[in-house]
């Protein structure tokens, strides 16, 4: 698949991220797609749920692992507005999701927030000796304004 093929799904993650920001959460959104169809979606809820582990990807992977059969997870793609952090990357790995497509890169988002925590998910997957396919960044210029607005 090309970036163009991923564009519609990444834009949906940006919509979810904007909705999260509108609720007072950080601007992150994620989708699980199986055979070209969105089967689950989630957004960041760290502030509304008072739990710093409630990243969009963690919310999505947790829900997926509880509600979908392993064979569906093995055919899925996780689309996310921003490159998954180390915690979320581990969750993707353990859930058996074989593909991640992200919008904004971790280094670009860390730069917006003035943070030093950026670790590429490819590096984390590599340390796990994982065969998870990673695509991204995709449409990063469209997603970064969400973070800039949140960082102000």
Q: Residue 28 and residue 58: Cα distance in Å, rounded? A: 11
Q: Is 103 exposed, middle or buried (0-12, 13-18, 19+ CB in 10 A)?
A: buried
Q: How much of the chain is helix, strand and coil, in % rounded to 5?
A: 50, 20, 30
Q: Which one is catalytic: 19, 35, 49, 57?
A: 57
Q: Is 133 a catalytic residue?
A: no
Give yes or no for a contact between 77 and 33, defined as CB atoms under 8 angstroms apart. yes
- Beta strands 29-34 and 37-43 are antiparallel
Contact 53, 24 (CB under 8 A): no
Sheet of strand 99-104: strand arrangement: 37-43, 29-34, 76-82, 99-104, 133-135
Q: Which residues are catalytic?
A: 57
């Amino acid at each position: 698949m090309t970036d163009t093929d991923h564009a519609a799904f990444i834009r949906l993650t940006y919509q979810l991220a904007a909705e999260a920001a509108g609720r007072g959460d950080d601007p992150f959104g994620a989708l699980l797609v199986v055979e070209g169809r969105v089967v689950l979606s989630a957004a960041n809820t760290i502030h509304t749920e008072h739990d710093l582990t409630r990243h969009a990807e963690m919310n999505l992977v947790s829900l997926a692992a509880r509600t979908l059969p392993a064979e569906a997870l093995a055919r899925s793609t996780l689309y996310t507005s921003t490159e998954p952090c180390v915690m979320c990357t581990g969750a993707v790995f353990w859930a058996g999701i074989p593909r991640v497509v992200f919008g904004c890169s971790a280094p670009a988002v860390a730069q917006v927030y003035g943070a030093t925590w950026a670790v590429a998910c490819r590096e984390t997957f590599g340390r796990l000796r994982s065969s998870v396919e990673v695509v991204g960044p995709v449409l990063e210029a469209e997603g970064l304004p969400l973070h800039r607005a949140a960082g102000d």
